[in-house]
Amino acid sequence: MKYIYNSLILLITLFIGCADVEQNNEEFDKSELLRILDEDEAAGMDGFDDGGLMDLEYETGLEGFGLGRTTGDTLSYGEGYRIRFGRQITSRERIVDFTIDGDTAIGVVSYLVGGVFMAEARDTSTMEAIDSIGFSKNFTSAMTRKVKYERVDDSNNPEGYSWKIIALTPLYGGAGDKVSITSIDIYEINLSVDETTGITGEEGDLVFSISSDDLGDMYMDRDNLPNFNSFEYYVVKATVNNNGPEYAIDSSGVGEWVMQRYGRSTNQRGRRKLNDLGYGPDAVINDNIHTKAFRMHGPGIGRESRVFRSFYSTTDLAALFTEDGGYNSVTWSIPYRSQRPE
């Protein structure tokens, strides 16, 4: 009887010890997974923030040729006014839920971002702000993505292994239910020179495409992110939906804007406006396909390639142009690589 009792005590002790080891290993794994996530330059959300009021299009700190100040878009009050607007993030909460299954782990990353959206009009003759038609409003955006990890043997690690990110989905989400993004497609532009018409460009091969149908489960290979040749020309098409009622500021009837933010940090970032006005590369006015031709910036002086982040946002014009128009905006964030041509 005493022998059986002692055996039971031994088994219980071993069971508890194994459970403690497993718990410690799981805590170590989750700590490592979180550390790797924090260090990965493709997985962050720096660049979503404008830092306050900014010109319609801007670029700073990136290797490129800069952007001219845009004066063509005016407030609905009449000619001679130019809008400046931007988001300023004041709070950011992040929750990461990890599921570990053998040599694979999935992290579901959720953000709750709060801040202030602000807009102002400037008199184009004096460049002074018009106080009577400027405003700010608070907003909250919820965003999410999935990150996939793989455990690999590592003799340099005391645990005998380490984790690495092998894939991630786009970061997506926003505020309100009035506007949404249906798809984003990016094409090469084939340039040609004609003696009569000069330099012309035609839409070339599809470089990247994503739709709302596979947004949450489309894993992008971390080692094979969308790649763009530095200083080459591309055209992006963002198809959106606006449930209305639409607030249009001109005769085009377009009720939303689409912006392309890009970069790495506050010191390296830019913003471009796509258009649905039927000019340039945009074929049809107000068909909910917003289009922009752009030239890819470089990876940075002394670098052959580097990872950056893009944020495609569609925002209802009532949010942009009226103080009491609420805040309806949706964003898809896609990491990419700028590769210097050989």
Domain hosting residue 100, numbered range: 40-339
The answer to whether residue 100 sits within a structural domain is: yes
Q: What is the CATH number of the domain that holds 275?
A: 2.70.50.30
Which contacts qualify for 98-105: CB closer than 8 Å, 24 or more apart? 98/29, 98/30, 98/33, 98/34, 100/26, 100/29, 100/30, 102/151, 103/150, 103/151, 104/148, 104/149, 104/150, 104/151, 105/29, 105/33, 105/148, 105/149, 105/150, 105/151, 105/163
The answer to whether residue 289 sits within a structural domain is: yes
Q: What is the pLDDT of residue 64?
A: 86
Q: What is the pLDDT of residue 190?
A: 86
C-alpha span between 330 and 179 (Å, rounded)? 7
The answer to whether residue 20 sits within a structural domain is: no
Q: Within 13 Å and on the Cβ side, how many CA atoms surround 215?
A: 18
Q: Structure pTM?
A: 0.87
The answer to whether residue 278 sits within a structural domain is: yes
Q: What is the pLDDT of residue 74?
A: 42
Q: What are the DSSP calls for 99-151, one per residue?
A: EEETTEEEEEEEEEEEEEEEEEEEETTT--B-GGG-EEEEEEEEEEEEEEEEE
Q: What is the pLDDT of residue 76?
A: 42
Domains: count for the chain: 1
User: Which are the contacts of 315, defined by CB distance < 8 A and separation ≥ 6?
Assistant: 179, 256, 257, 259, 328, 329
pLDDT in tens, the chain (342 residues): 555 555 555 555 545 554 444 555 778 799 999 999 999 999 988 889 999 999 899 999 999 864 444 433 444 444 567 788 999 999 999 999 999 999 999 999 999 999 999 998 877 777 777 766 789 999 999 999 999 999 998 878 777 788 999 999 999 999 999 999 999 999 999 876 666 555 667 889 999 999 999 898 999 999 999 999 999 999 999 999 999 999 998 899 999 999 999 999 889 999 999 999 999 899 999 999 999 999 999 999 999 999 999 999 999 999 998 899 999 999 999 999 999 988
Cβ distance 48 to 331 under 8 Å? yes
CA angle, residues 32, 44, 306, in degrees to nearest 5: 100
106 token code pair: 């999935």
The answer to whether residue 4 sits within a structural domain is: no
The answer to whether residue 32 sits within a structural domain is: no
* H-helix or E-strand spanning residue 162: strand 161-168
Structure-token match 């830092």, residue found: 51
Q: What is the pLDDT of residue 333?
A: 97
Q: What is the pLDDT of residue 136?
A: 93
Determine whether 40 is exposed, middle or buried from the number of CB atoms within 10 Å of its CB (0-12, 13-18, 19+). Answer: middle
Q: What is the pLDDT of residue 129?
A: 72
SS3 content of the chain, % helix, strand, coil (to 5): 15, 50, 35
Cβ distance 114 to 89 under 8 Å? yes
Burial 125-153 (b: 16+ CB within 10 A, else e): eeeeebeebbbeeebebebebbbbbebee
Q: What is the pLDDT of residue 8?
A: 55
The answer to whether residue 211 sits within a structural domain is: yes
The answer to whether residue 109 sits within a structural domain is: yes
C-alpha span between 307 and 227 (Å, rounded)? 9
C-alpha span between 228 and 340 (Å, rounded)? 9
